[in-house]
A and B are shown apart, each in its own frame.
Chain A
Amino acid sequence: MSLVSFRDVSLGFGQRLILRHFSLDVEVGETLVLLGRSGSGKTTALKTVNAMLLPTTGAVLVEDRPTTAWDHIQLRRRIGYVIHDSGLFPHYTVAQNVALVPHLEKWPAADIEARVTSLLQKVGMPVGEFGARYPDELSYGQRQRVGVARALAADPPLLLFDEPFGSLDPVIRLELQRQFIALRQEMSKTSIFVTHDVREALFLGTRIAVLLNGSIEFVGPPREFLQASTPEACAFLSCLQPLEV
């Protein structure tokens, strides 16, 4: 069953088309990586899922309903969202940031507290030590962890990641990627993950879609991607070859 379905989506700003006849189904439980260069339309595609952007033509279906037919607020509260610079609220503590969506959804206070405690524990940021801190008192990697916890807070079935680990140093990045895999095994979520890093795509993706100029050039599991012969996929794969010194 597909949780998200892009049906011949085109999207343009003025004369410029960002997405061109983009079609793709995202199955329950998979981690679909959208791999592409800057300007390939991957972030735009991601933003059509939670109705931050609406298709010019075609439709994006979430749980078999087009995003245009959803109440946008309800839709977004069912979809976790993590961006590259975390987007944490600077005037909220770590605990308040994680509590955001449960709070908007008016959960009982005790439930919110229990949820925040357990999630911060899961991302390795125990509430006793970090809960009362403000985002500017955390390192970049710590903020990303809190961002992930915030996205998971209301237990959404679907998560969107927009290059969340892009600006991290390689050691911390690997640590967060491992945590992502551990959390995925534990919580069985469906994720759409945008990146331009081919290693990250291979490490995290259960399926990889390569975007070129707003269309999908290749889509398949990592094993097939490694054998792909389309030009853009090959361009990304060539990044994996060791440099000749």
Chain B
Amino acid sequence: MPNSLLHELVTLTTQHFFLVGVSMLFAAIVAIPLGIILSWRSGWRDVALGVVNVVQTIPSLALFGFLIPIPILGGIGAHTAIIALVLYALLPMLHNTVTGILNVDAGVRDSATALGMTTGERMWQVELPLAAPTILAGVRIATVTTIGTATIAAAIGAGGLGVFIFRGLAAVDSMLLLAGAIPAALMAIAADRGLEWVERALSRH
């Protein structure tokens, strides 16, 4: 592999990592608190989950396309890609946060209330710790799929490993294709294993 290609590989991998990391951070900041609120409000729950479900069904290339003409939010570049990736990550994170909290044993929730915990105490000391492994499983699913989806971000000039893939496609160069695909796959496997480990550490007690 020529030196310049190797150098580009490092740059693109770093960009990719940044795209995914920032997207996951924003998605978590939105989805987890929203999921907590939705666990209290059954009326809003179906509406909100329905909306993020619909977003999930939009093909990623089309979503990037839709975002480009939108002023401020859209355009060409990493920020547009991040918005799209955040939108995709919302469903698994939101869904798992709601499910994790609602699945806390009714007897545990009841006795927390009956022993005089405030809503906040119950949330922080009982519901969130018990829901944490499920919430983290949502973050894990979102991260792994986003690492794959983020390769498409290169189509709107956001960089990342997709640059190699699109260039490889255009030049019919399978070596270039693999130079994009293999690091992305490795990143996905590493994220999956790493988050699985954290998830298990959290559910230990």
Contacts and interface: CB of A to CB of B under 8 A. Distances in A.
Interface of A: 50, 52, 73-77, 79, 81, 83, 85-91, 100-101, 104, 134, 150-151, 160
B186 interface: no
Contact of A81 (B115, B118, B121): B115
A101 B116 contact: yes
A interface secondary structure, majority: mixed
B54 interface: no
B171 interface: no
A89 B113 contact: no
Contacts of A88: 108, 111
Contacts of B168: none
B interface secondary structure, majority: helix
Q: Quick one: which of A74, A83, A87 has the most chain B CB within 10 A?
A: A87
A104 B121 contact: yes
A23 to B, nearest CB: 23
B12 to A, nearest CB: 42
A83 B130 CA distance: 20
B111 A83 contact: yes
Contacts of A91: 129-130, 205
A151 B114 CA distance: 10
A76 B121 CA distance: 14
Given A87-B110, A89-B108, A134 B116 contact: no
B126 A89 contact: yes
16 contacts: A52-B113, A52-B114, A75-B116, A77-B116, A81-B115, A83-B111, A83-B114, A85-B107, A89-B112, A89-B126, A90-B108, A91-B129, A100-B115, A104-B121, A151-B115, A160-B114
Contacts of B114: 50, 52, 76, 79, 81, 83, 87, 160
